[in-house]
């Protein structure tokens, strides 16, 4: 299936909770399904390993270096066993502040090697219209580096969830050659029902890139609910695949000729005057 001009990708939709072992088993099953359907790049959503209290996140935080803990071990094992590259999007990585780990998205190759690691830059500190107040910065440390990597011959830009509201990040990713933008997310039900499709498709259109947006769905500890509707969108803004309600896997083929045609026929990236 895959060639330098064609790659099959998958987005995994999960309903993760505060049971690390159970969540990792669900990831393993989804990755096996994605590989069986021909995907060689599989994107897991934010909080794929743990979706619970701040204390719980600190307790399961792991270092990116040294002997891998349960989360890194699962990513490495699943990547090697299934022969896929995995983007584990949004897991607690130990930072310099023991109370506030990074929220990290890590690319693990089919050989089990770490190809890239992105630490979420924009943390979700908001008061929703319902009055619910969420303050990610109270329990997580923000990153600062923009991260791209090469996967299956495509240039891939990394981001996480709330980042999608900041188009300047995606401009930087495209400036660095990105053709595929990954947005592992735990988008809330309240914001998602109004903004999710709009934002994902807008980032695809303005960046003239594919967007793989793997989202959480359903109910989670602490009364949290997420929107689901994981998406794979092409550079023209067309939805190639959308998840049904509940956990599942969606796949789509990325064809480089589509990217070339879009960027040539409407060369907005070349027409930019403000940088």
Fold topology of 6-265: Nitrilase/N-carbamoyl-D-aminoacid amidohydrolase (3.60.110)
Q: How far apart are CA 168 and CA 236, in angstroms?
A: 19
Q: Which residues pair with 87 in a beta bridge?
A: 43, 107
Helix (H, G, I), strand (E, B) or coil at 217: strand
- pLDDT recorded at residue 2: 54
- pLDDT recorded at residue 211: 98
Tokens of 166: 């900041």
Find the farthest-apart pair of alpha carbons in the chain and give their distance in angstroms, rounded: 51
Q: How far apart are CA 112 and CA 1, in angstroms?
A: 21
Q: Could you tell me the sign of the dihedral formed by the alpha carbons of 175, 148, 50, 56, in that order? A: negative
Spatial CA neighbour of 259 closest among 204, 214, 215, 212 = 204
Give 86-106 as a 3 state SS string: EEEEEEEECCCCCCCCEEEEE
Radius of gyration of the chain (CA): 17
pLDDT band at 132 (very low <50, low <70, confident <90, very high): confident
Spatial CA neighbour of 154 closest among 256, 85, 247 = 256
Q: Which of 96-110, 128-142, 167-181 is the least confident region?
A: 128-142
- pTM score: 0.96
Domain boundary assignment for the chain: 6-265
Tell me: the pLDDT tens digits for 199-247? 999 999 999 999 999 999 999 999 999 999 999 999 999 999 999 999 9
Active site residues per annotation: 46, 120, 161
**DSSP H helix total and E strand total for the chain:** 6, 16
């Amino acid at each position: 299936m895959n060639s330098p001009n064609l790659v099959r990708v998958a987005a995994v939709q999960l309903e993760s909770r505060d049971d690390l072992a159970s969540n990792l088993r669900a990831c393993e099953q989804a990755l096996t399904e994605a590989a069986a359907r021909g995907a060689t790049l599989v994107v897991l959503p934010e909080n794929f390993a743990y979706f619970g209290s701040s204390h719980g996140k600190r307790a399961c935080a792991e270092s990116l270096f040294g002997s891998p803990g349960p989360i890194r071990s699962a990513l490495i094992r699943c990547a090697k066993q299934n022969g896929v590259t995995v983007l584990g999007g949004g897991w607690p990585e130990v930072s310099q502040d023991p109370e506030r780990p990074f929220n990290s998205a890590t690319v693990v190759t089919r050989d089990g090697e770490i190809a890239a690691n992105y630490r979420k830059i924009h943390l979700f500190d908001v008061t929703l219209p319902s009055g619910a107040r969420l303050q990610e910065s109270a329990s997580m440390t923000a990153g600062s580096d923009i991260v791209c990597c090469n996967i299956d011959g495509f240039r891939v830009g990394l981001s996480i969830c709330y980042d999608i509201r900041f188009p300047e990040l995606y401009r930087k990713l495209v400036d660095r050659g990105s053709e595929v933008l990954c947005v592992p997310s735990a988008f809330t039900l309240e914001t998602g029902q109004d903004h999710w499709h709009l934002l994902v498709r807008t980032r695809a259109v303005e960046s003239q890139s594919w967007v793989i947006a793997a989202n959480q769905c359903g109910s989670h500890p602490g009364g949290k609910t997420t929107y689901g509707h994981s998406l794979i969108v092409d550079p023209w803004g067309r939805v190639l695949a959308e998840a049904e309600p509940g956990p599942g896997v969606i796949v789509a083929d990325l064809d480089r000729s589509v990217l070339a045609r879009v960027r040539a026929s409407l060369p907005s990236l070349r027409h930019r005057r403000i940088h």
